[in-house]
Structure formats: C-alpha cells, structure tokens
Chain A
Amino acid sequence: MKKRAIRFLLLACLLASPAAAQRAPLPPGQGKDIVEAGCATCHSLSYIPMNSRFMTQDVWKAEVTKMRTAFGAPIDDDAADAIIAYLVANFGAPPK
C-alpha cells in the first residue's frame, strides 16, 4: 500500500501544473530584489502579503531580526535595513 501511495504522489507531481509561489508578485519597489533573495531561500514570499497590512515598522523589524537570529537567515545589516524598508513601505500598517 505504501509503495502505491508513493507512486501516486510521483505521478501526480508530474501531471500537476505548477502553482504560483504566491498569489501575486511582490509590488515593484526599492529593495524588492533583496527581499526575494533573502526571504525566498527558506519560504515562499506569500508569508509577506499574508501578514499585511497590520505590522508597524517595529514589528516588521522584529520579524526580520527573528529570521536572522532564531532561524539563521544569512542577511547582513545593510540587507536587513533594505528588507525592512521595503516591507514597511509596501506591507506596513497604514498610518493611523
């Protein structure tokens, strides 16, 4: 039964049409390429629009810091600043 299930998965992988990594591409903006390189190594970019728009600059900064310190994302200080700026500009909480 196990072998059959695995064969089914392989067949289905070949037949299925590819899904977009996220619903819509990230909007253009300064730092977009750094976001794509820095974040998509480990997870689909859908995590970004999914978490919008309710995060302030401090909250986005905390998320990027968590990715670097807790998850070991190889993002240096300059790249982190660029990523945070892009996320706040395009996915940050609207001003109150």
Chain B
Amino acid sequence: MRRRDVMVGLGALMGHEAGAATMPWLSPDLPDGTRAEAHLVQVPGKQPLIQLSDRPPNLETPIQAFRTAITPNDQFFVRYHLAGIPDAKQLDGWKLEVGGDAAERSATFGLQQLNDLPQTEVVAVCQCSGNRRGLCTPHVPGVEWGYGAMGCATWHGPRLRDVLKSVGVKPEAVEIWLNGMDEPVLSATPAFHKSLPMAKALADETIVATSMNGGPLPILNGFPARLIVPGWTSTYWMKHLSNITISAKPMDNFWMTKAYRVPAGMFPVPDPFATQSNAATWPITDIVVNSLIATPISGEQVERSGFKVRGVAWDSGNGIARVDVSLDGGKSWQSALLDRELDRFAFRTFSLDSGALPRGTAELRVRATSNSKESQPDAWRANPAGYHNNVPQRVIVTVA
C-alpha cells in the first residue's frame, strides 16, 4: 500500500455528523440531488459546516456566518480539488522553496524566515470561483456550491514581492508558478499547480499569509502558509504553499489552460492575464461585485412591525459604493446603510430597517454597486464552468 493510500484513508475519518440539525434555509434553487446530499458535518477545529463531499473535503460556510465582516477561522469554508491532502506529519516538515529559471538564486524558507521579512496585513475576501454554481440556471456540473464558498479574514505575513526579491527576479520573468502540498491520488492526475502574472505577484496586496484572523491558519485552510491574492478568486490562493517558481515561460497544465477559464470578454477586467489568454477564453481573475443578506434567512418568520436586514457586499477591490435592498421582490429598492470599510478587498457590512410590512410572504433582494459602477446583473451570464454567479440573492420570509 502506498503512503498516499494510508493518508487518504485517514482523511475520510475526519468528520462526524453534527447532530440532527437540518438546513431549511438551503436554497431551493440548488439541484434536488445537492439538497439531499448536503449535510452539516463537524470536522476537527471547525464549527459545523455544510459538507458537499468528504474526499476531497468540500465544506461550505452556513449563511448565518456572514452577519459580520470577518468570517471566523472555525467557520471558514474548505475547498480541495484532490484527495491527497497533507497529513500532520507532512505539515510538520513543511518548508517553502523559492527559485526558478528566472530567479537569480534559490532559497528555502521556514516560518522564521518568512517572519523576518517586513510584515503586512490585508483584510480580504477569499471566494471560490465556483461560489453559487449550484444556483446557476441552467445547472452546470461541478461542486454545487450555494452561497457559502467564501469568507473574509485578516491575513498577515510578508508580501510575495519581498519573498521574490530575496532571490532576485530576472528581467525575463513572465509568471510566478505556485505549488502546495496537496497531491492527486493517482500519479496520472495533474497536480494542482497555478500561476500568477508578474503584475499581480508584485502587487502591494499579494502576500504569503502565515496568520489568519490573528491565529495560525486552520489546517484545512492552508496551514502553515497560504498565498493571498486579494481581489482575485481563490483558485490562485495556494494552500500549504511549498514552491514558488519564478518562470520565464507561461505555465502549461490542465489547471491553467483548461480549467478556471471564462469566455473571452464576457467579464471585462482592468488588467487581463495576458500570458494565459487566447481568442476564445481567459483565466478567471477578478471577483465580480456581489452581495448577500445574512439575516433574515429564507424560511424565517419576521415581525410585521419591522426587522433589521443585514449582510455583506464585496467586489474585486474597487470598494462598494452602494447596496440596495428590495422588500417587495424587486419592484422597489431602498438604499441600505453601509458600515465603515475595513479594507477595499473586505466584506462591507450593510443594514436596513425594513419598517412595517403587511402580513404574508415577502421576497427580499439585494444588489450592490461598486465604486467602478459595476452592478449585479438580473440574469446570470452563463459560462460553461458556472463561474461568476452574482445574480441578486432572493430571500423569502413570512411576515407575521
């Protein structure tokens, strides 16, 4: 038996069902099969999360966690592509190798060497490219995420730029290649490697996080070090970061050239990932503007004298200009109050006092607009992989 087989076996024993808790608030827009399969599971170090698969672990954050701008570590979602996730012994031997054909030299970093570099902090949304895929119409194959394949945390560590400078970047560098300690089960499966263009790799906000919300990163969120790429979807946020390669050529593998791509031009971005783009498709990069009502939740009974609507809005880093809430299924809209901005890449919390409502059913909707005037479209811009679903969320409540 290969070492990997033993480890994968252990991985499947990690969680247990979180009592008889049900999730009446799971969106009816999810596929029926997803609604039947999804269940609350508690894995070590986490509160109960919505398990969509256990091997590899794909665990979604319940919507109730998004009442605040910071998502606690023990409620942060978990997403792996491949079941060979590193075990405790392997993580104990973690180190970060930095080098490549476009590096002046190579170096090995431990946590101490990362901590010795200048430190910085960013509050940023980590959102899976496929967040809300399960809510797409028509449905698209993949991990059928609802609203919770995202979270926002305070990330702390050195800038990637300073890590790269410590080995020297040659002028011919075109991409930074990334590898983490998770591995495929079969050697024939492409390992999860990703790349970044130089501009984003050298950007102020891009850091190697060794801390999350003031503590160590949870193992399932990339312990001990994870790349943080604020404003971009989390496919680039390599967990258990083990190799950084400064490369003179674009990465050519399944995860860059086939997966995580969107139709060219469908989602305009200020700075396209040129070395990975072609006439037909681009890599997914910038997060689209989005918003979520975290309270009340669908199925809840609310007071007719009035209740507070609260939630979060976010985008790729332009910042949120306004959030509008409808209490009548989209017929009329009211401007919500925005709380102070923690960071341009962070969740921006909002609230709205509903005022008195007639008894019966009410449909709430929410729509955010960014400082670059990007707003949420009425219909999902359909793309084959089910990305960028930012159709305004609907919440159905009973006014009693």
Please give the residue numbers on chain A whose beta carbons come within 8 Å of chain B beta carbons, in ascending order: 1-3, 5-6, 8-10, 12-13, 16-24, 41-44, 46-47, 49-55, 59, 63, 70-74, 91
Contact = CB atoms under 8 A, between A and B. Distances in A.
Given A1-B216, A46-B52, A63-B141, 15 more contacts: A2-B111, A9-B219, A13-B14, A13-B44, A16-B13, A16-B15, A16-B42, A18-B13, A19-B17, A19-B54, A42-B83, A42-B184, A46-B37, A51-B141, A70-B190
25 contacts: A1-B216, A2-B111, A5-B219, A9-B44, A12-B44, A16-B43, A19-B12, A19-B16, A19-B51, A22-B37, A42-B82, A43-B55, A44-B53, A46-B54, A50-B38, A50-B144, A51-B34, A53-B33, A55-B141, A63-B141, A70-B254, A72-B186, A72-B188, A72-B189, A91-B33
Contact of A41 (B12, B16, B185): B185
B10 interface: yes
B212 interface: no
A55 B138 CA distance: 10
B116 interface: no
Interface residues of B, number: 51
Contacts of B31: 50-54
Contacts of A44: 12, 53-55
DSSP class of B's interface residues: helix, strand, loop or mixed? loop
Interface string B250-261: 000010001000
DSSP class of A's interface residues: helix, strand, loop or mixed? loop
A46 B53 CA distance: 6
Nearest to B54: A44
Given A52-B33, A54-B31, A6 B185 contact: no
A2 B39 contact: no
Given A5-B219, A42-B185, A50-B34, A71 B190 contact: yes
Nearest to A72: B188
B52 A70 contact: no
Contacts of A47: 53, 143
B88 interface: yes
A47 B142 CA distance: 8
B381 to A, nearest CB: 19
A64 to B, nearest CB: 11
